[in-house]
Structure 1
Amino acid sequence: MENIQTLNFIKHSPVPMASLDKDLRILANSGSFNRNYGITSGQTEGKSIEDLIPDIPGKLVDALKKSLAEERSEVNDGERFIREDGSSHWLKWNINPWSDADGDVGGVVLVLESLTSAQREIELLRMSQQVANVGGWEVDLINNRIHWSKITKDIHEVPEDFEPDLETGINFYKEGKDREKIIKLVNRGIEKGKSWDVELRIITAKGNEKWVRAKGQPELIKGKCVRIYGTFQDIDAQKRATEEHAIISERLEIATKAAQVGIWDYDIVNNKLVWDDNMYRLYG
């Protein structure tokens, strides 16, 4: 059996940790272990982990048994599991065998972390990015590498295996003032650490013109820019709708002037009358 000092360490550990014997019965566990899995404090010792956590994944039980049988560590960096009721939870574990006074394996120490809340936030963020059509990008200036997220590649209409470089990425911007603008912003970001948030046009790999919103943030270490990262959003539909509205408004203004039509608005609540310029011209 593990020594008292080790068991006390486990009981007071801030991480969800438990010591199990060869039959997967709990010898000691931390308070955070109880809280994470809804276990009543003081009701765990001597009970099987499978009894205490009914929805424990079979893969975890197999990992515990494998660690005991092969006398080696078992690690899972995070995986999604489906409960019987259809709900899902994410778990991460680290299993290490412990030895008794004779040097024989007497059980395992299990660190079992729930990643469900964190993964839910990540999934919600990913969903919101998809709905808003926002992608991400990163330029590693130390290793001269560029990463585009899937959404960024979709906006550029390139295949998923497309590997961009800085020059290629810049050349997607429409030749002329749009490309000149992004070159100036990128250079200023690298040289002076200035971020940017700009709306420009690109020409996609399929030859389509799109309005995009590009945001960039340089990362400096000891005054030297080592990385630039940011977001990339397709705003083409909104931009074109705004432009169309502006054109319609301009045409309406021209038409009302030509027809000598005045426009007025009366605010009943505030008892206020507002005239446009034509009304003043018509009535002096």
Structure 2
Amino acid sequence: MSFDPNSDFFEIAFNVTEHTEAMLAYWDKNLICRYANKATADWFGITPEHMINKSHLSEILGTLFDVQLPYINGVLGGKIQVFDQVIHLYSGKAKNVRITYHPNYVEGEIKGFYAHMADISPLNNKSHDNKTGVEKLPEFVTQNDQLLENVAKTLNENLFIGFPSISALSKQHFVSESKLKRDFKQNFGKTIFSYYRYLQMEIADRYIREKRCNKNQMAVMLNFSNPSNFSACYHRYLEEKSSDGELIETQKEDNTHNKTLIEQAPIAIAMFDNQMQFIAASKRWVAEYKLENTGFIGKSIYEVLPATKKKCEKLHNHCLKGNIYQCDGLLLKKNDGTRVWLKWNIHPWFTTSGETGGLFIHTEDISKIKAIEKENKQAEKLLKRAATLSKIGTWTRDLLTHTMQWDNVIKSILEVPEYFVPDIKTIWKLFKQGKSERLSKKALKDALKYGSSFDIEVDMITAKGNSRKIRIIGYPEFQNNKCKKLSGILLDITPLSPFKTANFLTD
């Protein structure tokens, strides 16, 4: 089924609610946005008002546009496109996303396509260890690390060749220049060029100390324009090295202060060095992890809490590069064998020289909350099951954004596919001509004009040609004397034949 985006009723029709977390949009064949839902602001930092009829798809996707271009060409060629991709949201958070592009045909001609982006991180990242049943850490938290390590490797390969431009690095590693510069500095504590110079000076220092080259020769080897520039860089490098020793005592004082604060904290928090050895832990941490009289200070967390090595070592290494990590729920096994859901906050702490000295880790036991969530999910499944069995579906029609939604129960009742996108012209074809069609149109007219709610029984013909007795209840919502939304329920009240009733009672 398809519809004309320029019709009187709908510019775009999507099977979506206003509050879905998935990003939904419609792009015409010129790749201009004609519809976007509210989730767009969370995904790409731009509101629908600033997108619709204004933004080109390349402006929204940025560097991802070239990567997605084959799929975009595919959907404009008439084929449905489904693919997975890691996307960094406007907030900076990475998500594993499943993207679906569906072509929109009008009288045999493609007018544009629907775009649906759904977060599948919970599917990809909450896989379980077959032996323990414990959830694994999200894999995507290390993807950015790998990207930056590859950039650092490229810089190492070019130490005697010359600094590759930021633009060249960006293209080579398929990342935007702004993101590359920001993330690199966050991870390595230096700009890309400063890091490159530092690597050069490390080599120069070794060659000079080993008397393999003098300063002038190193300047030539490292492609400096003149020896004086090299000497200035090398001098700054030696000063930084010599100042490291002076900072050690200051760092010791800071660590003593932090240790005191940690030990007195009323929450479960611990401080670690960059080898993940305990420096300090609060009394709450000691009690929750049953570490009384264990002499854990100075020992590695992987020795004291062995279950954390497999679960958390990659994550710790990620944070030791200067990254912050927050986790709303991770299932871990304590030393006594009990499994608990923990909420994690991991923050790096830095030495006076600006390098990562270790981590602060705060955990909170949320096992009771998770148990309640599980009960709520089971109750929600029962409610959905009850709605399906009772054949009661929900529907909405938004007159301001020109969107419509049918839930899967309605689609099942009217025997249309799950991917069906309802539009007015198609919907009217499902009503039986005559009394049912007239009654429905009058109810709709009164609701839009006078704000009248309605409760009607009509005959409808499903997409497969079967007759159904349907009860439709609708409630209009008005704003500034104009109907902005219709919503309600649809019930299948078709009488069961005696044969079907008997089967139902014996099932």
TM-score, length basis structure 2: 0.33
Structure 1 residues 107 and 76, CA, compared in 2 at 3 Å: closer, same or farther? Answer: closer
Q: Of 406, 409, 412, which aligns to 1:154?
A: 412
Q: CA deviation at 1:158?
A: 0.9
Q: CA deviation at 1:203?
A: 0.7
Q: Of 449, 457, 462, which aligns to 1:191?
A: 449
Task: Give the structure with the higher percent helix.
Answer: 2
Structure 1 residues 202 and 119, CA, compared in 2 at 3 Å: closer, same or farther? Answer: same
2:325 and 2:347 in contact (8 A); partners too: no
C-alpha separation in 1, matches of 2:323 and 2:445: 52
Identity of aligned residues (%): 23
Task: Give the unaligned 5+ runs of structure 1.
Answer: 12-17, 30-39, 84-90, 242-284
Q: Of 434, 444, 449, which aligns to 1:176?
A: 434
Whether 2:384 is the aligned partner of 1:126: answer: yes
Structure 1 residues 179 and 99, CA, compared in 2 at 3 Å: closer, same or farther? Answer: farther
Structure 1 residues 178 and 93, CA, compared in 2 at 3 Å: closer, same or farther? Answer: farther
Which residue of the partner structure matches residue 226 of structure 1? 484
Q: Of 285, 288, 295, which aligns to 1:44?
A: 288
Which residue of the partner structure matches residue 68 of structure 1? 319
RMSD: 4.6
2:323 and 2:348 in contact (8 A); partners too: no
C-alpha separation in 2, matches of 1:169 and 1:155: 13
C-alpha separation in 2, matches of 1:220 and 1:92: 45
Whether 2:462 is the aligned partner of 1:204: answer: yes
Which residue of the partner structure matches residue 219 of structure 2? none
1:28 and 1:45 in contact (8 A); partners too: no
C-alpha separation in 1, matches of 2:392 and 2:420: 18
1:73 and 1:94 in contact (8 A); partners too: no
Task: Give the unaligned 5+ runs of structure 2.
Answer: 1-257, 334-340, 499-507
Structure 1 residues 159 and 99, CA, compared in 2 at 3 Å: closer, same or farther? Answer: same
Structure 1 residues 155 and 74, CA, compared in 2 at 3 Å: closer, same or farther? Answer: farther
Paired AA for residue 210 in structure 1? R
C-alpha separation in 2, matches of 1:78 and 1:188: 50
C-alpha separation in 1, matches of 2:360 and 2:487: 46
Q: CA deviation at 1:98?
A: 5.3
Q: 3-state SS of the aligned residue for 1:236?
A: coil
Task: Give the structure with the higher percent strand.
Answer: 1
Q: CA deviation at 1:137?
A: 1.5
Whether 2:423 is the aligned partner of 1:165: answer: yes
TM-score, length basis structure 1: 0.55
Give per-residue Cα distances to partners, 1:167-226, cap 9 Å, x unaligned: 322331211121122222222222333322222111111111101122222233344322
Q: Of 355, 360, 381, which aligns to 1:107?
A: 360
Which residue of the partner structure matches residue 471 of structure 2? 213
Which residue of the partner structure matches residue 246 of structure 1? none
Which residue of the partner structure matches residue 97 of structure 1? 347
Give per-residue Cα distances to partners, 1:225-270, cap 9 Å, x unaligned: 22222222211135x77xxxxxxxxxxxxxxxxxxxxxxxxxxxxx
C-alpha separation in 2, matches of 1:120 and 1:169: 34
